[in-house]
Amino acid sequence: MRILCTNDDGIHAPGLKIVEEIARALSEDVWVVAPELDQSGVSHSLSLNDPLRLREVGPRHFAVRGTPTDCVIMGARHILGETMPDLVLSGVNKGRNVAEDVVYSGTIAGALEGTILGIPSFALSQEFSMETRSAPLWETALKFGPPILRKVIDAGVPKNTVINVNFPACAPDDVAGVRVTRQGKRNLGFLKVDERRDGRGNPYFWIGFERLAQVDVPTEGTDLAALAARCVSVTPLRLDRTDDEFSQALTATLK
């Protein structure tokens, strides 16, 4: 099995080494194509107006000056030649990708692009807490990643589905189980705009995050609830975003 690994944290991110270890637990034919620079939050952006620069950093390891989407396309359509990958693994992201994160995440986007190309694809993310922010518990992803991937692959990944896996912020022995979940929704009050001044007194802005005074209780069955319970969350995400229920209502309304 040929596996293509990518991420959005960049070619030197520690999580990329973790996803490569997970891949090597499944196969010896592993290729890494990752962004030259951190591309967190770029979502499913594709470079159309700027050229892509490719750099070989080691055997079967390449850096692309572009987005995770660019990396998967370059890997599958150019670097690997005529033999397409059998599996795409994107991650392991430093930080969870749940709820609305799936819209912004470059990690999710890498797996989405693999799915669009017809390749079974997984997005892998390691949650961290305030205590483990500087040193996420990568061993949790290492322990649970390979067996989960094997089971999902054996079950058969549907053609237009991405598998989003999030590992909880606890040691492997403290993981309470594995749950199949749906995408959650949370209070986005943690988003903030930080205004500052440059050396000439002109304003500039950072979009940032702050801790909420009170965190909402996550809805049972969601990715948020699974991580809160110290469970690995496995969420199948579909490429088709059509709202079938509202489509039926609109059809009746617009007749």
In whole angstroms, give the CA distance from residue 170 to residue 166.
12
H or E stretch at 24: helix 14-24
Question: Is 202 flagged in the annotation as binding?
Answer: no
Question: Is 9 flagged in the annotation as binding?
Answer: yes
Residue length of the chain: 255
**How many H-runs (helices) and E-runs (strands) does the chain carry?**
7, 11
CB 170 within 8 A of CB 226: no
Exposed/middle/buried for 58, CB within 10 Å: 0-12, 13-18, 19+? Answer: exposed
Question: Is 8 flagged in the annotation as binding?
Answer: yes
90, 172, 136, 226 alpha-carbon torsion, rounded to 10° = 70
Question: Is 40 flagged in the annotation as binding?
Answer: yes
E strand spans, 132-230: 161-167, 177-180, 191-197, 203-209
Q: How far is CA 192 from CA 185, 205, 214, 217, in A?
A: 18, 10, 16, 21
Which residues sit opposite 30 in a β-bridge? 3
Sign of CA dihedral 123, 61, 114, 121: negative
Residues making up the annotated binding site for a divalent metal cation are 8-9, 40, 93
Binding-site positions read 8-9, 40, 93
